[in-house]
Amino acid sequence: MPPTMNLDDLLLDVATSIEPSDADRKIIDKRYRELKTHLERPNSALSEFLKNDKSRIYPQGSISISATILSGEKDDRFDVDAMVEFDVPPNWSNRKPLDVLFEALQGFPGAQKIVRNTRCVTIHFAFMHMDVTIMDPESEPRTERVGEIFHSPDTGESDRIPANPYGFAYWFRKSVHFQEGVGSFAERVANRRIENSIDRLELSSPRAADQDDLPATIPPRFDAQQVVALKLIKRAFIVAYRNRGIKRPPSIYVTKKASDCGFEPLGLTSQVQRLAICLRDEMDKAIELVNGPDERNPTHIPDRINDRWPKHQMDRQTLRTVADEVTNCLEKAKSMSFTEVAKILSELFGENISGQAVEKHLQRREGSNASTSVVKGVGTVIPSAILTAPGLAKETRIVPDHHFHCENSNENEKDH
């Protein structure tokens, strides 16, 4: 048995508990449909522009590569992104598109509040928010869905930014290692999802079933090992940055590195470490240069995907430190008892999230009422009933009741 097999198993429990459930995805899909309907309604400020055959409204970002996770710092929520693409009138200022979008989104069904930001307008719901961005497409002929988005801060000059998030998502899904079929990683994820799925959005949107007969708006799930590792790294970063008072690296930058780092044949734990090491090494280079990184969208080189980060050397140093912490914590976990591993998961992913994963793991492996034991040096859980098997008792011990803190951890509050 590989030393990381059961750690992989636990990480898979974590990953499938922090993503949208099938019911949640249906509600998210429904809200994308409502976005189109709402912006195209007769009295919408954008209605006349969206009648054009070239206009589009579509998902982008994490939801387009199946990497959406709980991302709240004070509350658990899903962050999803939408693009509204249409020919922006040439006489509009660079500030006006977001102002008009903000006006057009007023009265959106189920919205708790609507906020105009620097590059998008955010619709807040219970346990979810949707960032809506406007793109002005390039003149034809053009690469599919290439255009410019609008950067419009409260103070200072507004500007246009080259972008092709659709192309980036397509590139990412094609560039990572994906296996399907009986016994594949994708099948393991799908099976584990059945056990760990949590419906978080259904109470706030009970009418999702009315679109069962419609084709999906959001792309299908994509259960590649690099995608699951990306989800875990993103969650670990949310926890690690919570009390640091510094901005996290943009999700799209970490996503790019999840592809660049390559596939790790040794399993999920090593895949997460591989990504963390890749990020650490990138920061080492940037720290030495006191510059960069300058990461580009492979499908549209003018699109610098981390153009607003890092701003300071401290941004680079912090990511370097956090990535190293993730690597070291997982390395320690490979040779620790189950109780110690559970503590490390709490440090990395938050107490509530890791607690749910550990509970599911124990229920699956030995039943909810059995005692727990581990094989030394591996962390493998076995039922106490077989402790008396010949030759096995001397290799096992009852899980000790003590606490372990990963070095340099900054998770001091309960995850909500």
Q: What is the pLDDT of residues 76-114, one digit of tens each?
A: 789 999 999 999 999 999 999 999 999 999 999 999 999
Do 275 and 261 contact (CB within 8 A), yes or no?
Answer: yes
Q: What is the mean pLDDT of the chain?
A: 85
Confidence of residue 4 (pLDDT cuts 50, 70, 90): low
Position with higher pLDDT, 104 vs 200: 104
pTM of the model: 0.86
Residue 367 pLDDT: 59
Q: Is the model's pLDDT at 129 over the cut of 90?
A: yes
Do 285 and 292 contact (CB within 8 A), yes or no?
Answer: yes
Q: What is the pLDDT of residues 400-414, one digit of tens each?
A: 332 323 333 333 333
Confidence of residue 388 (pLDDT cuts 50, 70, 90): very low
Burial tier of 292 (Cβ tally within 10 Å: 0-12, 13-18, 19+): middle
Residue 76 pLDDT: 72
The answer to which of 251-255, 283-287, 402-406 has the lowest mean pLDDT is: 402-406
Give the pairing type, strands 372-375 and 300-304. unpaired
Confidence of residue 6 (pLDDT cuts 50, 70, 90): confident
Residue 363 pLDDT: 84
Do 191 and 14 contact (CB within 8 A), yes or no?
Answer: no
- Across residues 198-215, what is the average pLDDT? 58
Residue type (1 letter), 202:
E
Q: Which residues contact 239 (CB under 8 A, 6 or more apart)?
A: 347, 348, 349, 350, 410, 411, 415
Distance CA 48, CA 42 (A): 8
Percent of the chain with pLDDT strictly greater than 90: 70
Give the pairing type, strands 396-398 and 380-383. unpaired
Among 169, 159, 204, which Cα is nearest to 83's?
A: 169
Structural domains of the chain, ranges and CATH numbers in brackets:
5-18+219-398 (no CATH), 22-173 (3.30.460)
